[in-house]
Amino acid sequence: MALTLPCAPSASAAVREELSQLDGLGWILADVMLVASELVNNAVLHSGGMPHHDLEVRASRRAGRLTLSVRDPGLSGSRAGTVPPAEREVGGWGLQIIEALCERWGEERDHGYRVWAELDAPTGERLSRQTL
């Protein structure tokens, strides 16, 4: 799956809609949707991007792992990191959720800022969508 969306709050819902159309995710679909939502929301909130900037969202499966990634414009210059419990207010739980649900995650700066996460994924069925 590959999507290009505006860097706007509506991007998270659009990504969840696309993910809901994928075949073969089975019981991990809810985890995949939550992780994708957190990655997209973090990009919208912290990248420094505006709706005229793009987010590139990708999902791919290989060797029993599903990788989700979100590339944002990276205008803020900040890096993804967990928020210490004492500093959390209403939000600040996104990367803790990602750490709990994913095998690993990371970030890199190249042509913007990309954050990715890997989840264990069932094998045996292809990740596909009729219209992609």
* Threshold 0.85, pTM exceeds: no
How far apart are the C-alpha atoms of 55 and 9, rounded to whole Å? Answer: 11
Q: How far apart are alpha carbons 113 and 60 in whole angstroms?
A: 19
Q: Where are the domains of the chain?
A: 2-120
Tens-digit pLDDT profile for the chain (132 aa)?
A: 999 999 999 999 999 999 999 888 888 999 999 999 999 999 999 899 999 999 999 999 888 899 999 999 989 877 666 666 666 566 667 788 899 999 999 999 988 999 999 999 866 544 444 333
DSSP symbols for 67-111: EEEEEE---S-----PPPGGG--S---HHHHHHHH-SEEEEEESS
Classified by CATH at the fold level, domain 2-120 comes out as Heat Shock Protein 90 (3.30.565)
